Amino acid sequence: MKKHFLRALGLVLTLAAGLGWLTYRHFDFFVPRLASEEGAVVDRLLRVHFFLIAVIFALVVGFAVYSVWAFRGRADDDEPGLNIHGHGGLEFLWTVIPLGIVLGLSAVGVQDFLFLRRSDADLVVQVQAQQFSWTFFYPEYDISSSELWLPTGRRVKFEMTSLDVIHSFWVVEFRIKEDTVPGMTTYAYVTPQVEGEYVLRCAELCGSGHARMYGTVKVVSPAAFEAWVAEQQAAQRALAGDARARGEQVFQQYCAVCHTLDGSPSIGPSLQGLLGREVLLEDGRTITADEAYIRESILDPQAKIVAGYPPVMPGTFQQALSAEDLDALVQFLLQLDE
Amino acid sequence: MRHVLTTGLVRGLLGQVVGFLLGVQMARAWGASSWLEDGPLTWASTLSVVGFMLASGMVSDWLGWLAGRFEPPRHAAPPGKPRWWRYFSVDYDHKIIGVQYGVTALVLVGLAGSVALIFRAELSKPGIDSLEPAVFNTLIGWHGIVMIAGILTGVAAMGNYLVPLMLGARDMAFPRLNAFAYWINVPGVMLVVLALFLRWETGWTGYPPLGVQTLPGAIPFYLGVFVVGFSSILGALNILATVIGMRAPGMTLFRMPIFVWSMVATSIIALTATQLIGLSFVLVVLERVFGMTFFSPVLTEAAQAMAAPPGRPLLFQHLFWFYSHPAVYVFILPGLGIISELLPVFARKPLFGYKWIAMASLAIALVGFLVWGHHMFTSGMSDVMRVTMMWTTLLVAVPTGIKFFNWLGTMWGGKLTFPTPMLFVLGALSIFLIGGLSGPPNGTVSTDLFLHDTYWIVGHFHATMFGGFVYPYIAAIYYWFPKVTGRMYNETLGKVHFWLMTPAFWTMSLGQMLAGLWGMRRRIVDYDPALGVEGLQTAVTAAAHVIFLAMLIFVFNLAWSAVRGRVAAANPWKSRSPEFQIPSPVPDENFAVPVVVVGEPYDYGQPQPYVTFATATAAADD
């Protein structure tokens, strides 16, 4: 039996070395590029987890595979195997050692978590999630934006909420994820470190538009960030006057995820040439699209459903759009060409 | 044909349809404009379940007692009915009920698996090709809940068929309750089928506020799950009563077959936790129908009229996961019990650490109640709760590890043979290993902030489900097939099943985990091509098709062999367990002569048997 044990152990160590090398040294194969300081903390522990997975897998599979190979019986053989019922010492060992490992992992996990969630921050960004788009407010600069611009090297505190259902804020390269919940403010902390363009993706099923609920994230140098802020402040003052451009911007922000402008159907009907169009509703009526219908469709979408489309348009635009934004949007839609 | 129409199943389904239509008519009489509104749909769904219950015969005996008529439970087909009729009607024999559960499980798993092939086709390439998002979201939710129903019925199949036999008992403690617990699944599942057609977009977890807002299919979904829950609760009660009160003479608790221990642990959970998912789902239905705001922060008119405070979405998640986490141990503890039960037989040596394995099952059940918050690590739950739940979650790894090491001890120094049941046991071991090992990164809060709601999680739970339920269930079916049918399955086809399914499953598992690590979220109809996961998704889709094919071969093997298989010996595996000491198929009364326990269950190779049949002499020797 001792010979068997040593041979099995040899198999385990070979497997462990191979799998351990694969997971620890080639960790970068398994994860996308890293772009935040908090993400580095996540990756460090994840790498340890993968190494442990590799080693424990090798341990169990090594002994199992060795047994399958070395301890074969024959179907006609009536000889039993070793008559052992258990071993108190082994039970103790393989209870206490795993207990030690999980307690150790928990201790490191607590430390990492507290570090990730410490409340100091250099910049506050308020995030508003809704079906199916994101809006960002920078209270320090009094600007709002549909794109998330961030400077490198500053710890950002995201104060987040949702207007309708639960969404979740997640940029893969930042690693950190946190749900946005209606009626609550939730928090995430990220210190971006690598300049570039990233994609924010909603990570909690929120309806028909969930898969494509994306936001654009731009991480730039602190100087470029200041320049962008100034540009936004100026642009938002100017936009207050230009209703048409404002309307198009609102359309892109809130409507484009489900409605196209080129005639092609999407989750919702295309809005090309909407004014004056004969619209067939699911209850069989046909109505002519006028301004009243367009307004009603935005503020109370369940009132009339277009035939052939699911009744999934969110009812939150009444809350999300200011009176000026709504007027601008309606004006924009009224003059879309055939 | 005449006989088909009189079966409990057909009568019950007709009763369900009649009940539903009656409900719709009543709602119309009360002024509802469409049956697709939440109120009418709720009323019609409820009446449909009552209709099924009355028409199927599942409450007939009890209604008879109310009317002063008592009939002893029938132990054969009614006069004039063929034997097969018993399997499609209300029958009180635990072996018939076990087969009913078992076939239902295969049907549900087959349906849910077929639906998976539909959305897997959509996912093999980026872009939205054939499934509109609302349909996709419905299909993945349906896949999840129907698989869960399939697993619960599979667990009940194993428990109900095996526990009385393993204890040397004549039947379960409450045979009529047993039949009720099986049949209540049918109207519940039919409501979930209705939800498929009416559609709902929350996935199987049903989170509000989306659950309140989404399409009408949410109503039959929530109500269907509520109804199916009764099967778990009542079945568990029956198992515990049977184990407590009906063990053969000499069968102390530590001389029970180990599978019974796993069913005890499972039943403790199912009996006490299932109520929480029923509660949370009913509350969402009340939100939809009456405008109550338990979970919705925006006050409805009704809530304002009641001066209710704003609701909290996280409350739902706490209530829901308080059941749904322990539920996963309901799914896997029986399967792990099957592994423990079969390894000694195919190693011809005792189960290593029997008492430790038994206690570990209870420990998993207990600690499993304390970890639900790990499903909520990104939910906005307080940091204190997140840290606490991380400690408890990682603790569950310890009793699970104890089982694995004792299984290794059972194999070590054995005389191993590898017929199909043993292949599936070993497959289960390796797959549950990777599933379980992929757990700690999710149980640690910091790493879970990355992994939550990605395909890594999908990979984790498919591996734990296949390793903890699917493979052991298949092993159990092959192993007890000769006992149930009296015929042997085809061994070659069994090996083909295993060797097709296992590499495919590993491909699927590793593919899902890697796709998640590379940034693919779960529950999405379309993924960003920039993530680079298209190759992985195509591989996962191909693997799913191979798994499906392997399962078709399995079902063909079972159907063919049940009719044309070689007649089997009473004890083809030379097991010491009580059920293998009596003829195959098992006689109606189970043990014509009662069994007495005189030795240890797993002392293979030792002269002292585990059970003997009671004789006058043996009784005098006591």
pLDDT in tens, B472-519: 999 999 999 999 999 999 999 999 999 999 999 999 999 999 999 999
User: Cα A144 vs. chain centroid, distance in angstroms?
Assistant: 21
Q: What is the ipTM of this complex?
A: 0.94
Query: Smallest Cβ distance to B133: which of A50, A164, A209?
Result: A209
Among A residues 191-230, those touching chain B with beta carbons less than 8 Å apart: 199, 201-212, 214
Q: DSSP 3-state helix, strand, coil percentages of chain A (rounded to 5)?
A: 45, 20, 35
User: Mind listing the pLDDT tens digit for each residue in B401-438?
Assistant: 999 999 999 999 999 999 999 999 999 999 999 999 99
Helices H, strands E: what count in chain A? 9, 12
Nearest alpha-carbon partner for A167 in B161, B209, B52, B298 = B209
User: Mind listing the pLDDT tens digit for each residue in A156-177?
Assistant: 999 999 999 999 999 999 999 9
Say if the Cβ atoms of A181 and B603 lie within 8 Å: no
CA distance A85 to B353: 6
Contact B137, B204 (CB under 8 A): no
Q: Among B410, B437, B446, pick the best mutation site for testing chain A contact (most A Cβ within 10 A).
A: B446
Q: Cα torsion for A218, A222, A223, A228, to the nearest 10°?
A: 40
User: Mind listing the pLDDT tens digit for each residue in A294-331?
Assistant: 999 999 888 899 998 888 888 778 877 888 889 999 99
The answer for residues whose C-beta is within 8 angstroms of residue A104's C-beta and 6 or more apart is none
Q: Would you place residue A77 in the very low, low, confident or very high pLDDT band (cuts 50, 70, 90)?
A: confident
How many CB atoms neighbour CB A74 within 10 A?
A: 9
CA distance A184 to B243: 48
Contact A171, A200 (CB under 8 A): yes
- Secondary structure in 3-state letters for A59-104: HHHHHHHHHHHHCECCCCCCCCCCCCCCCHHHHHHHHHHHHHHHHH
Residue B618 in this model has a pLDDT that exceeds 70: no
Cross-strand partners of A198: A217
User: Mind listing the pLDDT tens digit for each residue in B191-227?
Assistant: 999 999 999 999 999 999 999 999 999 999 999 999 9
A273 touches chain B (CB under 8 A): no
Query: Smallest Cβ distance to A98: which of B397, B519, B604?
Result: B397
CA distance B266 to chain A (A): 22
Say if the Cβ atoms of B201 and A205 lie within 8 Å: yes
pLDDT for res B593 = 94
Say if the Cβ atoms of B207 and A166 lie within 8 Å: yes
User: H/E element holding B528?
Assistant: none
Q: Would you place residue B622 in the very low, low, confident or very high pLDDT band (cuts 50, 70, 90)?
A: very low
pLDDT for res B616 = 52
Q: Among A19, A37, A50, A105, pick the best mutation site for testing chain B contact (most B Cβ within 10 A).
A: A105
CA distance A321 to B6: 60
The answer for residues whose C-beta is within 8 angstroms of residue B306's C-beta and 6 or more apart is B292
- Please list the alpha-helical segments (H only) found in B199-353: 210-213, 218-245, 258-290, 301-305, 313-347
Q: How many CB pairs under 8 A join A and B?
A: 288
Among A residues 17-46, those touching chain B with beta carbons less than 8 Å apart: 30-32, 39, 41-42, 45-46
CA distance B23 to chain A (A): 23
CA distance B504 to chain A (A): 19
Say if the Cβ atoms of B201 and A84 lie within 8 Å: no
A105 touches chain B (CB under 8 A): yes
User: Cα B328 vs. chain centroid, distance in angstroms?
Assistant: 9
Residue B534 in this model has a pLDDT that exceeds 60: yes
Q: Which residue carries 């449909």 as its tokens?
A: B48
Contact B375, B321 (CB under 8 A): yes
Residue of B nearest to A211 (CA): B524
User: Mind listing the pLDDT tens digit for each residue in B389-404?
Assistant: 999 999 999 999 999 9
A94 touches chain B (CB under 8 A): yes
CA distance A321 to A327: 9
Task: Please state the rounded mean pLDDT for residues B328-343.
Answer: 98
Nearest alpha-carbon partner for B375 in B466, B310, B460, B295 = B460
CA angle B538, B543, B548 (to 5 degrees): 130
